[in-house]
Amino acid sequence: MTIANPPPATALSPDLLGRFAAIVGDRHALTDPAELEAYVTEERNLYRGHSPLVLRPGSTAEVAAICRLAHEARVALVPQGGNTGLVGGQTPHHGEVVVSLKRMDKIRDIDLASNTMTVEAGVILQHAQERAADVDRLFPLSLGAQGSCTIGGNLSTNAGGTAALAYGLARDMALGIEVVLADGRILDLLSKLKKDNTGYDLRDLFIGAEGTLGIITAATLKLFPKPRAVATAFVGLPSPADALKLLGIAQAEAAGHLTSFELIAEIALDFSVRHAANRDPLESRHPWYVLIELSSMRDDASGALEAILEQGFEAGIVTDAAIAASLAQQQAFWKLREEISPAQKPEGGSIKHDVSVPIAAVPEFIEQANAAVVKLIPGARPVPFGHLGDGNIHYNVTQPLGADKAAYLARWHEVNKVVFDVVLRLGGSISAEHGIGVLKRDDLPAVKDKTAIDLMRAIKATLDPLGIMNPGKVV
């Protein structure tokens, strides 16, 4: 995808290349095209960038030195974590220098009394989860890319995931952060305090800013008690409206124990079964499915889940269900859900949307969006799935059977418009958890409050007056 209005890139002289390399050491300053490849492409192949230099700092001091030199020389920087972003925010579209945080992967501190863990930005999300489990705690952020995405990237995009229903987004799981500003100053907000009313909450400026205001180098994360019992079920039902009714039953019965409630269309399950070697958990197909999970500090999660399903059967909104009888079966249920996105690739082009609407409006959104995209492109195959519990639906649209992939993807913005029109009509958001990046940058002014856009641009101009921090992204 071509990015419009590229900002001018500063050519790097041999002297400037040498000065940057001296900060991190020659072996961590990459210029060979073969080595750069992994940093300028992204998983979906939607974007391809270019860069003369990738820097891999090993400390906050090195990141600060990079920013000071970039500020002095007016060199644009693109911060990058695990390079798993889905909106092009981590790609050097116009020849910027990439600052990869992957080497900054230390767990600095675990404080069980405060229930906090302080980590560097390059720590892989799965490693943070595992380290928390080692000390009998839970770090609940959970994403399909958790084996490769990083904490810095999670915070920069304010990632959501399958546990957001119970624990919130990445922003809600961070007590403090450390950030390097555009001019190289270090902002130390690594607090373990739950209460700190000392002025503006600067932390939240940088979480979700996608590296446009500064580079997050470390964070103090919240830890939670590790559940003693987890119960998971895969449920077949007739419609999203029935799924919404089941959600109401689950919330009434399980109170704070409901951790995930995922909605899956039959076509999404079909793709995951056929293309990702997964097994259908139920004996026959159903128009819609729900993956529901309860967690408890006691041993009664299964009983509560059975009570929810029993009410669903009695009300006629559940037609079949399977409760995981083992950890392996539980993992198989989640594998089916997590592989929905990659399983769409063999079906051809997929135009993707990460949107949210009020929870009560999810059935109406799906019905209206399905009608709109099929009217626009007859034969298009909507593949809705996602986090019904918080109103976040991944509304993907797969090309018609036999269609030309390139011609179909060329209509990306047409499909965006009809989907976004439905989202906005229902009071929703065009970006729920993946961010803005470049994919939705040009759509943002039309859907965001004008005063909010003005304030965002003013904050950007104040913190990054030279426009060198991830230019061309978000605003």
Domain boundary among 320, 344, 368: 344
How many domains does the chain divide into?
A: 4
List pLDDT tens digits, range 361-380: 999 999 999 999 999 999 99
CATH number of the domain encompassing residue 87? 3.30.43.10
Token pair for 335: 């594998």
Give CA 66 to chain center in angstroms.
27
- Residue-number span of the structural domain to which 206 is assigned: 107-225
Burial of 56 (0-12, 13-18, 19+ CB in 10 A): buried
Token pair for 193: 């305090």
**Residue 441 included in any domain:** no
Same domain, 194 and 256: no
CATH number of the domain encompassing residue 244? 3.30.70.2190
pTM of this structure? 0.92
Same domain, 80 and 184: no
**Residue 41 included in any domain:** yes
Token pair for 292: 């529901």
pLDDT given for residue 298 in this prediction = 78
CA angle (338 as vertex; 334, 342 as ends), nearest 5: 150
3-state helix, strand, coil in the chain (%, to 5): 40, 20, 40
Residue 393, amino acid = I
Q: For residue 202, which of 214, 194, 210 has the smallest C-alpha distance?
A: 214
- The model's confidence at residue 3, banded by pLDDT at 50, 70 and 90, is very low
Same domain, 211 and 169: yes
Domain boundary among 284, 309, 344: 344
List pLDDT tens digits, range 214-248: 999 999 999 999 999 999 999 999 999 999 999 99
Token pair for 114: 């405060």
List pLDDT tens digits, range 41-93: 987 778 899 999 999 999 999 999 999 999 999 999 999 999 999 899 999 99
Token pair for 333: 């249920």
E-strand stretches of 280-367: 288-296, 320-323, 350-351, 354-356
